[in-house]
Structure 1
Amino acid sequence: MLVEVVLAMVLLVLIRHLLKKPEGLPPGRWGLPLVGYIPLTRKRVEDQLEELHKKYGDVYIWRMGTQNMVFLHNYKHVKEAFTRPEFVGRPDWFLFHISERPCLGVLGSSEAIWQNNRRFSLRQLRDMGMGKSRLVEAVQAQAVMLVNEMKKQAGKPAPVPHALAVAIINVIWQMVGSRHFEVTDPLSKDFQHLMEELFNNESRFIIVDLLPWITKVLPTSIVDRIIRMDIVDEVKGKYFTYFKEVIDEHRETLDRDKPRDLIDGYLIEMEEKENDPDSTFTEKDLLFLLLDLFAAGSQTTQDSLLFLFYYLAKHPEVQAKMHKEIDEILDGALPTMEDKTRMPYTEAVIHEVLRKSSLASVGVQHVASEDTTLAGYTIPKGSIMYCMAASIHHDPRYWSDPDRFMPERWLDQDGRFAPKKEGFLPFSVGKRQCLGEGLARMELFIVSVVVLQSLSLAPPPGKDVNPSHDPDVPMGHFPIRQDIMVTVRR
């Protein structure tokens, strides 16, 4: 009898130990071993996170599966964390490596592969495009093409045409591969469809990322079915087949003294470092780098422009002020980057749309590479760090009347554009800040101005336009696809 009592007591102690949240961690949800805290509610995850923010403050933890998730709602904490080397890495998640280890490319890689690719990509984007007249002309041309396609649906309710996706994809192609899609090219729709397939299946990946032990206890065939590995393989296969064709063409026509684009630059780098044991440049890595550049740079810019069009249709008084500024400053000429400083209201509208839309509402995941501390709390090695950008963008500590769409908040008393750094991070912050920020800002400015030079946007007759994010998406902010009315101004 005594033995049974002792064993029961030991068992209770072990259970208590397993269930107890270790000392020093941020407050929040802990739950059970292996499965973490599973809420019995149908509320959106983002809504639950806001409730946790109100209850626990700016830093809290939620153990999801086996993963310790730490959420940061204070801009200063985010800035501190994401500039520290122990938080610069990405989790070893399927979401990033998609069956390729070590993770390649630039979006999800870490350590030497990330450092080399980021350094190379920033140099190439600077040398081949960002700020260069050649790329400005390419963005202008794509914006004009978009306007011509939008004019075809003038006077009737219709969604923003597929030409928007083609325009943004073509700008990226100009920089990385000197390629160009026509609007009617079936390949352009296939290209966009593949990217949407990848994004639509991301929510399945989280299952194996939060519960990695299921890959040890379930047959591979079942795990593959859970994450729809067939779709992943199809998307990767089609993209890589097309990229490989472009790379082979570049290799055959390469002039080392006159690199045309990023692919040329990568092939030269790969050749020069062929005998360098520390080199991470390979053709497979280039394939993943190209996939990352399109994944990170195409859909986000499209969605930002969609939000901008919807906000302008929703707020005709804001659109009228933009029309007035554009007409007075440009007088019919196409915009260049030199015009930005002369168009403060247009800049204010773009920044307010970035704040209100907050596309990356919870940022891209970082991981703690070692045991450390932040904001007075212990952060164990392997903890996943989230920047709650949407929450910060609506925090009254940084923004007055934060729920209101108000471009004037970006102007000083003399009507000049006054960029606000504190509390504004649409492209994240720190060592992994979006490397395509300069390109995205260029596209948002030039495309929006060219569109408004020629067009007015309005809700369909008897209806409204909703610039809110899609409530059916559990994480992240995506625009609700809807009709707008286009009127030709000139």
Structure 2
Amino acid sequence: MDVNFTLRLREDLQYLHVKASTVDVRRKLLKYLPTRKLNRNIDTSMIQEFLLSGSIGVTCLVALVTGLVVYWLIQKWKYNFPPGPSGLPVLGNALQMDSKKLHEQALEWSKKYGPVITVRLVDVFTYGGKDIVFGNYGPTWKIHRRLASKALRYYMQGDALEHRIHEAVKTAFDEIDTISGQFDPVEYINFIVVNIITGLCYGGKYEFKDKEVQYILETGDEFTEKLGAGTWEDIFPPLRHVYKTALFKDVEAITDQLMERFIRKKFKEAESTFSKENIRHFTDNLILARMEAEEEDGGEAAKGLDEDHLVQTLGDIFFAGIDTSRFTLRFALLHMVAFPDIQEKVQEEIDNAVGRDRLPGVGDRPNLGYTEAVLHESMRLSSVVPTGIAHVASRDTEVSGYRIPKGTNVVINHWGLHHDPNAWDDVDRFIPERYLDENGKLGPKPKSWLPFSAGTRVCLGEFVAKPELHLIFASLMQRYKWKMESGLCPDITPVGNTFQLATKPYKVIAEKRV
């Protein structure tokens, strides 16, 4: 925030403290509201009219805002926050942000203010921080994370994942083989991914066009769309306890549908039929890991973990796994249509390393380095979760010389990292070779390639997602040659919001190779 703005605000607050009436407060606050529309959703003339109305509600609101402004100034003086775009008191940058392109805005702001910037934004939905994705770092979170990781590794010990993938792609291939001409591949990619993740979490499998698959996908898409639109409760979290907007109520209702009526129901079903002698899926492994933790050290390791923690863990793995995987594969397939020479190289590598008589397996990954490099480059350019997940500073800390107070939301702009011209040569070009060593093998991960985040809060399911995505992608490339009708050009421009990016709808032709 610029110095002149801060000095003006300080003078006005001193005036209001000494002799202001409520009307004075309202008129002073109006000085800090722009007279134009800040974005397509909010007209500040409505706010101005509201402030001058003189109602009791306005008086209370103004008093609250004045107190918050004073608190905000104290925080500003106390901490050396990173620089960032100037905003309004209390509202911060909320009225400046474009929820569909915040990741792009943040990259532009970083060019002016540096790699660490301050932007005022959002709150999240969770069972009071009882999940792994949004939960605050601490002793309970570490135990929770360890149990979930242990459960996943139990599941990955055998060939269960490979078997699930092969079963799902074969069913999808049987359907695709019957299609002549162009079609939308989204339905088939969605089916493959949902079948795999459902089998991993709960066991069982779906038939093509199963109603539960459609429910999962449609409800999940609706949740992402509404959450990405942003609500007033994001700007003023206490508002949810006083008056909930229609959009916020919709998001709450969808959250209840997904977590209570689906995830918790699945958990209860697994718990009621659980047997230590017959571990069937990730949910069973999670229940087993909790039981073992309760038996260790007199149960100290499992203290503080209730059913909500386990339900939220299932929700994290299930929905995060489905959305990121299906959007990543949609981009990867579209990139292969856009770059047919690269598609041919992938298929040549698969033919040489695997052949055409069997599906690629987990054991083939070391010999499919170029295929994996192609997938990595597609993930970089698409960045389907552009700003990752917001986490909270567990204590006052320092980053690049700036003081960050405890409780501050910290976000990594993955899209910005992946599109930074200072980190990548020919940043907008599709170049798989940038991930290979001099022997043509997959080399060390570039430090600016972080689709799964990094550090203690790295994606829990990374070691499952990587082989899953690789095997599905390799199977699709092995089976078909993918292209568009003659004269059509693929549009790889992403659509979505700061929470999630996807491809525009597209149609392809699949020519059978196997």
Shorter-chain TM band: 0.7 to 0.9
* Distance across 2 between alignment mates of 1:460 and 1:207: 45
1:247 aligns with 2:251: no
Counterpart among 465, 486, 492 of residue 461 in structure 1: 486
Q: Which residue of 2 aligns with 1:80?
A: none
Aligned partners of 1:32 and 1:358: how far apart in 2? Answer: 30
In the alignment, the residues of structure 2 paired with residue 187 and residue 224 of structure 1 have an alpha-carbon distance, to the nearest angstrom, of 25
Equivalent AA in structure 2 for residue 243 of structure 1? K
Counterpart residue number, 2:131: 105
Cα shift at 1:314: 0.5
SS at match of 1:62: coil
Cα deviation digits, residues 249-284 of structure 1 (max 9, x gap): xx33x3323422222233344455298465244333
One-letter amino acid matched to 1:214: L
Q: Is the 8 A contact 1:144 1:450 kept in 2?
A: no
> Aligned pair in 2 of structure 1 residues 112, 146: CA closer, same or farther (>3 Å)?
farther
> Structure 2 counterpart of 1:473, which letter?
N
Matched, 1:434 2:456: no
The answer as to 2:421 corresponding to 1:396 is yes
Give me the identity figure in percent.
26
Residue 293 of structure 1 deviates from its aligned partner by 1.2
In structure 1, C-alpha distance between the alignment counterparts of 2:238 and 2:421, rounded to whole Å: 41
Distance in 2 between the 1:195 and 1:467 partners?
A: 23
What value does the CA root-mean-square deviation take over the aligned residues? 2.8
Q: What residue number does 2:115 align with?
A: 58
Is 1:236 paired with 2:293? no
Partner of 1:49: 106
Cα deviation per residue 1:11-67 (whole Å; 9 max; x = unaligned)? 279999766943622111343332113555868323322221111111111234xx7
Contact persistence 2:147–2:290 (CA under 8 A): no
1:260: which partner in 2?
280
Are the aligned partners of 2:397 and 2:403 in contact in 1 as well (CA < 8 Å)? yes
Q: Distance in 2 between matches of 1:395 and 1:228?
A: 33
**Structure of larger gyration radius:** 2
Distance 1:370 1:258, change over 3 A: same
Change (3 A) 1:145 1:161: farther
Residue pair 1:30, 1:63 contacting (<8 A) in 2 also? no
CA separation of 1:258/1:10 partners in 2, compared to 1, >3 Å: closer, same or farther?
same
**Matched residue of 1:179: which SS?**
coil
Distance in 2 separating the partners of 1:260 and 1:38? 46
From 152, 161, 164, give the equivalent of 1:138.
164
1:28 counterpart SS class:
coil
2:89 to 1, 10, 33: 33
Task: Give the conservation status (yes or no) of the 8 Å contact 2:263–2:314.
Answer: no
Give the direction of change, closer, same or farther, for the CA distance of 1:409–1:211 in structure 2 (3 Å limit). same
Contact 1:215/1:223 (<8 A) preserved: no
The secondary structure found in structure 2 opposite 1:140 is helix
Matched residue SS, 2:194: helix
User: TM-score w.r.t. structure 2 length?
Assistant: 0.79
SS at match of 2:118: strand
Kindly provide the amino acid, as one letter, of the partner of residue 246 in structure 1. E
- Relative contact order, higher structure (CA 8 A, sep 6+): 1
Whichever residue aligns with residue 123 of structure 1, its letter is: K
Three-state SS of the structure 1 residue aligned to 2:411 is strand
In 1, Cα distance between equivalents of 2:211 and 2:288: 32
Q: Map 1:65-214 to 2 at 5 A.
A: 93=123, 95-97=124-126, 100-101=127-128, 103-110=129-136, 111-129=138-156, 132-153=158-179, 155-203=180-228, 207-214=232-239
Of 11, 15, 22, which aligns to 2:15? 11
Distance in 2 (alpha carbons) for counterparts of 1:224 and 1:62 = 23
Q: Contact (CA 8 Å) 1:362, 1:389: kept in 2 or not?
A: yes
Give the equivalent residue in structure 2 for 1:88. Answer: none
Residue aligning to 1:302? 326
Distance in structure 1 (CA, Å) of the matches to 2:329 and 2:361 = 18
CA distance in 2, matches of 1:106, 1:47: 27
5+ long unaligned stretches in structure 2: 1-10, 19-65
Q: Does the CA contact (< 8 Å) of 1:359 and 1:478 recur in 2?
A: yes
Taking structure 1 as reference, are residues 258 and 160 closer, same or farther at Cα in structure 2, changes over 3 Å only? same
Q: Is 1:419 aligned to residue 451 of structure 2? A: no
For 1:265, give the aligned amino acid: N
CA 311–276 in structure 1, closer or farther in 2 if over 3 Å, else same: same
CA shift for structure 1 position 302:
0.7
1:463–1:124 Cα change, 3 Å: same
Task: Identify the range of structure 1 (47-56 vs 31-40) with the bigger mean alpha-carbon deviation.
Answer: 31-40
Q: Distance in 2 between matches of 1:446 and 1:240?
A: 26
Conservation of the 8 A alpha-carbon contact between 2:203 and 2:280: yes
For these two proteins, the number of residue pairs brought into alignment is: 445
Q: Once the two structures are superposed, what CA deviation does each residue of 1:402-427 show, in whole Å capped at 9, x if it has no partner?
A: 11001122223332322333211111
Cα distance change of structure 1 residues 368 and 405 upon mapping to structure 2, 3 Å threshold: same
Q: Name segments (4+ residues, structure 1) moved above 6 Å.
A: 12-17
Alpha carbons of structure 1 residues 183 and 417: separation in structure 2 relative to 1, 3 Å: same
1:342 alignment counterpart: 367
Change in CA separation of 1:423 and 1:315 when aligned onto 2, cut-off 3 Å? same
Q: Unpaired runs of 5+ in structure 1? A: 1-6, 68-92
**What is the match of residue 41 of structure 2?**
none
Aligned-partner Cα distance in 2 for 1:28–1:161: 39
Higher normalized helix content (fraction of residues) = 2
Give the drift of 1:207: 3.3
TM-fit CA distance, 1:132: 2.8
Q: C-alpha separation between the residues in 2 aligned to 1:409 and 1:269?
A: 40
Partner residue, 2:505: 481
Superposition deviation, residue 377 in structure 1: 0.7
Q: Distance in 2 between matches of 1:398 and 1:339?
A: 31
Distance across 2 between alignment mates of 1:329 and 1:244: 40
Deviation at 1:310, TM superposition (A): 0.2
